[in-house]
């Protein structure tokens, strides 16, 4: 046995290469971390990802606490003070075309917009994720059936499909949520299926089967851990897409309806004032851009943090 405290690591050089063939490295003093602890460490050391996370947390916290921030009512109109520019006293971000406080509307709008970004992805993740997991792990005919059904949805671009479904269901937040959820189920199913199929064919899953373990135990211990990471990364990207689509639906009148504060809807109602108060008009668009961008960048950060195989 090697002396405690050091471990010999063999290097891939032959004895005749003139290079050391092994190195002694200290062990024991080295903290042993689990895979997810390592991922967490790498994510928290990536300044971009951390910055994006902070921005998102600030937006989310403001949105959640909106009623208690002492802001004016987001639906309170004031026809005397319409389209005040950014920086006006009492209205730091100005007012909109009906004289409503922009800051209050942006912050309150975050509630709906974030909710419409996250909820469809979560629901689609549960449905599509399970379907993909089953398709990938069971394989055969079950796989064929599930994947052919998802293929049907692939014939349409996601935005068009969302518009078509929301249009058929009628305007309203609930219908918009439903439409976006339906749009996201097929891609999540497909990604989960392909990752699961990949993991399932790995030797360690075969080894687990050889141990006589049941299917559920194998999925829980050996498949999920290797599948969840990539799926999670993908879901974060989808949140950014979802925010854009839901804003788009509201913009064309299929999502939130006036006078509710929602970024997509605000973008729509302010669009006629773009020359009178350009800053006010692009603010909701800016928020949509920032949040969806942050989710995207976080997804990238997660991906690279989880990719490291050493």
Partner 1 sequence: MNVEPRPLLNVRNLRKYFPVRSDRLMGPRLLVQAVDDVNFAIAEGETLGIVGESGCGKSTTARLLMHLIAPDAGEVWLGGKRLGGPDGLTLRQLRRSMQMVFQDSYASLNPRLSVQDSIAFSPRAHGVPAPQAIDKARELLALVGLDPDQFGRRYPHELSGGQRQRINVARALALEPKLVILDEAVSALDKSIEAQVLNLLMDLKRELRLTYLFISHDLNVVQYVSDHVLVMYLGKVVELGTVDDIYHRPRHPYTQALLASRPSMDPDVKIEQSPLAGDPPNPINPPSGCRFRTRCAFAEGVCEKVEPALTGIGRGHAVACHMRIPASGHTAGR
In the set 20, 67, 87, 225, which binds partner 1 (CB under 8 A)? 225
* 211 counts as binding partner 1 under rule CB under 8 A: yes
In the set 29, 168, 214, 275, which binds partner 1 (CB under 8 A)? 214
In the set 13, 20, 21, 35, which binds partner 1 (CB under 8 A)? 35
* 141 counts as binding partner 1 under rule CB under 8 A: no
* 15 counts as binding partner 1 under rule CB under 8 A: no
In the set 13, 48, 204, 286, which binds partner 1 (CB under 8 A)? 204
In the set 194, 197, 226, 296, which binds partner 1 (CB under 8 A)? 226
Query: Distance of CA 19 to CAs 2, 15, 23, 26, 307, Å?
Result: 22, 7, 11, 20, 30
Instruction: Indicate the length of the chain as a whole number.
Output: 310
Q: Using an 8 Å Cβ cutoff, are 20 and 11 in contact?
A: yes
Which among 123, 103, 98, 122 is positioned nearest to 63, based on CA atoms?
Answer: 103
Q: Where are the alpha helices (DSSP H) in 89-223?
A: 102-138, 140-154, 158-169, 173-200, 203-210, 215-218
* 32 counts as binding partner 1 under rule CB under 8 A: yes
Q: Using an 8 Å Cβ cutoff, are 120 and 174 in contact?
A: no
In the set 20, 28, 67, 174, which binds partner 1 (CB under 8 A)? 28
Query: Distance of CA 266 to CAs 142, 162, 243, 281, Å?
Result: 45, 20, 14, 8
In the set 122, 207, 274, 276, which binds partner 1 (CB under 8 A)? 207
Buried b (16+ CB within 10 A) or exposed e, 49-61: beebbebbeebee
Smaller CB distance to partner 1: residue 100 or 200? Answer: 200
* 303 counts as binding partner 1 under rule CB under 8 A: no
Site residues (vs partner 1, CB under 8 A): 1-2, 4, 7, 9-10, 27-28, 32, 34-35, 202-204, 206-214, 217, 221-222, 225-226, 309-310
């Amino acid at each position: 046995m090697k002396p405690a405290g050091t471990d010999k690591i063999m290097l891939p050089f032959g004895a005749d290469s003139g290079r050391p063939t092994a190195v002694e490295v200290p062990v024991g003093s080295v903290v042993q971390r689990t895979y997810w602890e390592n991922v967490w460490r790498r994510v928290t050391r990536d300044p971009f990802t951390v910055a994006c996370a902070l921005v998102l947390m600030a937006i989310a916290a403001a949105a959640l606490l909106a009623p208690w921030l002492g802001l004016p009512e987001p639906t309170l109109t004031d026809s005397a003070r319409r389209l005040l520019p950014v920086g006006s006293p009492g209205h730091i971000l100005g007012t909109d075309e009906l004289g409503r406080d922009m800051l209050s509307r942006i912050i309150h709008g975050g509630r709906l917009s974030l909710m419409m970004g996250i909820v469809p992805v979560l629901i689609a993740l549960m449905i599509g994720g399970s379907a993909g997991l089953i398709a990938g792990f069971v394989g055969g005919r079950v796989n064929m059936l599930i994947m052919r059904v998802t293929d049907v949805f692939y014939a349409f671009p996601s935005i068009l499909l969302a518009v078509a479904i929301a249009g058929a269901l009628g305007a309203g937040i609930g219908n918009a949520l439903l439409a976006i959820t339906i749009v996201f189920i097929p891609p999540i199913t497909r990604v989960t299926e392909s990752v699961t199929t990949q993991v399932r064919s790995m030797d360690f899953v075969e080894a687990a089967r050889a141990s006589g373990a049941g299917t559920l135990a194998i999925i829980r211990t050996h498949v999920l851990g290797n599948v969840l990471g990539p799926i999670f990364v993908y879901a974060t990207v989808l949140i950014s897409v979802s925010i854009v689509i839901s804003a788009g639906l509201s913009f064309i009148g299929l999502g939130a309806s006036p006078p509710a504060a929602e970024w997509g809807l605000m973008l729509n109602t302010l669009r006629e004032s773009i020359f009178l108060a350009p800053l006010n008009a692009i603010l909701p668009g800016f928020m949509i851009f920032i949040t969806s961008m942050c989710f995207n960048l976080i997804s990238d950060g997660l991906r690279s943090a989880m990719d490291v195989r050493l």
